[in-house]
Amino acid sequence: MKVFVVGGHIHYANWIKDCELVNRIDKADIIFFTGGEDVDPSIYGCKKHERTYSNINRDKDETDVFRQIRPDQLAIGSCRGAQFLCAMNGGLIVQDVHNHGLWGTHEITNGKEKYQITSTHHQMQYPYNLREEDYDILFWANGLSKGYYAGDGIDPEKIIERGEPEVVLYHKKNKPKCLAIQGHPEMMQYGVLHDMLNNLIEKYAPISVS
């Protein structure tokens, strides 16, 4: 699996099965967007919250990269990268959320399976302004924030009703497929979580992916 890492250290991709790092986007099967600063709200058309700390130059650079992704490539993002992919698909971002900057792990579920994943973020992807046919929430958090979701355009009731999105597949028309992972799998020892995520890559990656 040839991986082009954007915006951060290459260790973010250390959990991807048979990972081969490449230094050109056109040679990659996967374009990986990493963690870091908050995504600037101007990218997704919202007012800036007092607790948002962004880097607009990075956002502009990564937007340029995103626009180069071909239909036969898969975009993956973790933490900030997941939020960035949400924004690139027209979604919003919760600009401040409580109880997610944890030391250790918390549980995510799809209603049947349960996994532990790290939680080290104060912002969160918010796809609920999109059409339901443009995304699938594959896993959500098992009860962390319990109601505090701040940010322009955010409806907390939708999150409470439908869950805090942890692993989301964006498949909007005329956009590349995007697998957005809110946690940090690279911070954890390889285990069942990583097996599950690699199975998702195999399931949703374009046929041409090696």
The 10s digit of each residue's pLDDT in 146-203 is 779 999 999 999 999 999 999 999 999 999 999 999 999 999 999 999 999 999 999 9
Residue 86 vs residue 1, higher pLDDT: 86
What pLDDT score does 209 carry?
Answer: 44
- Residue 109: pLDDT band (50, 70, 90) is very high
Query: Stretch 98-111: mean pLDDT, rounded?
Result: 86
Q: What is the mean pLDDT of residues 8-16?
A: 92
Average pLDDT over residues 139-146: 84
pTM of the model: 0.95
Distance between CA 204 and CA 207 in Å, rounded?
9
Contact indicator for 115, 167 with CB cutoff of 8 Å? no
- Summarised one tens digit per residue, pLDDT across range 29-43 is 999 999 999 999 999
- Span 57-83, average pLDDT: 97
Domain 2-204 homologous superfamily, CATH: Class I glutamine amidotransferase (GATase) domain (3.40.50.880)
Q: In whole angstroms, what is the distance from residue 103 CA to residue 113 CA? A: 23
